[in-house]
Amino acid sequence: MDERHAGDYELTQLDYESASQQVENAAKFLDQIEQVLHQMRFNDE
């Protein structure tokens, strides 16, 4: 159990870059959703 546990906390450079990319994609995705919601609200008025 200790071996597996230690492996979980090992963050390589590749893992870090991959995670950063995913966060970036998520942020862009949220921006798009925000724009769509804003347009919908704008069309309602």
Mean per-residue pLDDT, 9-32:
89
Q: Is 26 a member of any domain?
A: yes
Would you list the DSSP string of 9-22?
Answer: T---HHHHHHHHHH
For 30, the domain range is: 12-44
pLDDT of 2 over the 90 cut: no
* Count, residues in the chain: 45
Domain contains 2: no
4-38 b/e (C-beta count within 10 Å ≥ 16 → b): eeeeeeeeeeeeeeeeeeeeeeeeeeeeeeeeeee
Number of domains in the chain: 1
Q: What is the pTM of this model?
A: 0.56
Mean per-residue pLDDT, 19-29: 95
pLDDT digits (tens, 9 = 90+) for 28-43: 999 999 999 999 998 8
